[in-house]
């Protein structure tokens, strides 16, 4: 029996003709893996991801090494990666010290991390939600003064492990505050993977009604409940053109030990290829990269497409 190596393409004229995949495996993926990889392996991962045609490869995070030991070598990684023409290599920074280190390492684009709930803000940022903007505003304004685009990640947009359901109006308010502070784009995070497609459509529609430009909205769905692709498709139907994903599904969900984490980039590419949506990604090269990374981590990638094609 022959294996299909590519999906049948059936285009739909109500979807974006091209989607930007924001690859988060080297940052969000690795920071949630138990293993701490050596710098050379991280550099090879970033280089392989960009060589596979991914237009945005989030390279690392300039956070305190004691908080995230997996990414303690951020400056070394940034010094060693091959910066492919036309590829963006954003990095996450939590504060001005991290921003200075990121700029010194040659970063040309940064991201900050906000919360849509008070419980997560207190646990992740060490302060209540009402005070988080005081933490981000100087970082965002300084980065913008230096000509750097800034992405605002918003965690817990669809559900929170301590608070349960999250009011969509609260999420819109946090997004508005990030944009007012100078963020140039947003990423709506389903951190615990509980969203369903109707909820995804509703939040995007509310943001657009509130005046947020559709092209500034990205989505970041986790697959904890098996809904990440369905939610992504719902966002595409709303006109969203930026989708976060992680090669091989790197990065477990830190709140549910047995749960899968990020949407796997290969699963996303297979769906988009089948819909005739351009991504620029070489699926075979990406699968090979995730198989290679799985060997380094000592476990099979979570991606269903890698499991189907990578044997």
| 149-162 pLDDT tens trace | 999 999 999 999 99
Distance separating the N- and C-terminal Cα atoms of the chain: 14
Q: Give dist(CA 240, CA 22) in Å, integer.
A: 13
Does 2 have pLDDT greater than 80? no
Which ranges of the chain does DSSP label H, i.e. alpha helix? 30-31, 39-51, 74-80, 96-104, 118-120, 132-145, 168-181, 197-209, 228-237, 265-274, 283-297, 304-309
65 Cβ contact partners less than 8 Å away, ≥ 6 residues apart: 71, 72
Closest to 55 measured CA to CA, from 218, 254, 291? 218
| Distance from C-alpha of 241 to C-alpha of 263, rounded to nearest angstrom | 16
Q: Which pLDDT score, from 0 to 100, does residue 253 have?
A: 46
Choosing from 157, 175, 238, 253, the catalytic residue is 253
**291 has a pLDDT exceeding 60:** yes
Check if 253 is active-site.
yes
pLDDT in tens, 230-276: 999 999 999 999 999 999 999 864 444 444 689 999 999 999 999 99
Interval 87-136: pLDDT, tens:
999 999 999 999 999 999 999 999 999 999 999 999 888 899 999 999 99
Would you list the domain boundaries of the chain?
20-309
Would the pTM of this model clear 0.75, i.e. be above it? yes
Whether 311 shows a pLDDT value over 90: the answer reads no
Which homologous superfamily does the CATH classification assign to the domain defined by 20-309? Aldolase class I (3.20.20.70)
pLDDT digits (tens, 9 = 90+) for 175-212: 999 999 999 999 999 999 999 999 999 999 999 999 99
For residue 5, what pLDDT band results from cuts at 50, 70 and 90?
Answer: confident
């Amino acid at each position: 029996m022959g294996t299909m190596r590519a999906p049948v393409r059936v285009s739909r004229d109500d979807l974006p003709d091209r989607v930007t995949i924001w690859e988060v495996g080297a940052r969000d993926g690795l920071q949630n893996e138990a293993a701490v990889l050596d710098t050379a392996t991280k550099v090879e991962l970033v280089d392989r991801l960009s060589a596979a045609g991914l237009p945005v490869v989030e390279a690392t995070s300039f956070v305190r090494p004691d908080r995230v030991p997996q990414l303690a070598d951020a400056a070394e990684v940034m010094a060693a990666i091959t910066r492919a023409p036309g590829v963006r290599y954003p990095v996450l920074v939590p504060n001005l010290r991290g921003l200075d280190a990121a700029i010194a390492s040659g970063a040309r684009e940064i991201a900050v991390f906000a919360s849509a709930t008070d419980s997560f803000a207190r646990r992740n940022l060490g302060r209540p939600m009402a005070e988080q903007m005081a933490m981000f505003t100087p970082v965002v304004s300084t980065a913008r003064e230096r000509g750097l685009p800034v992405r605002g990640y918003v965690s817990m947009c669809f559900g929170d492990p301590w608070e349960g359901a999250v009011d969509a109006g609260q999420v819109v308010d946090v997004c508005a505050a990030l944009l007012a502070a100078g963020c140039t784009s947003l990423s709506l995070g389903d951190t615990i993977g509980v969203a369903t497609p109707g909820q995804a459509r509703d939040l995007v529609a509310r943001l657009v009604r509130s005046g947020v430009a559709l092209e500034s909205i990205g989505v970041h769905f986790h697959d904890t409940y098996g809904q990440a692709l369905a939610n992504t498709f719902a966002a595409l139907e709303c006109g969203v053109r930026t989708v976060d994903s992680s090669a091989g599904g790197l990065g477990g969900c830190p709140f549910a030990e047995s749960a899968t984490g990020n949407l796997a980039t290969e699963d996303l590419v297979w769906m988009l290829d089948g819909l005739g949506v351009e991504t620029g990604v070489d699926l075979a090269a990406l699968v090979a990269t995730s198989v290679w990374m799985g060997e380094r981590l000592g476990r099979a990638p979570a991606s269903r497409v890698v499991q189907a094609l990578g044997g």
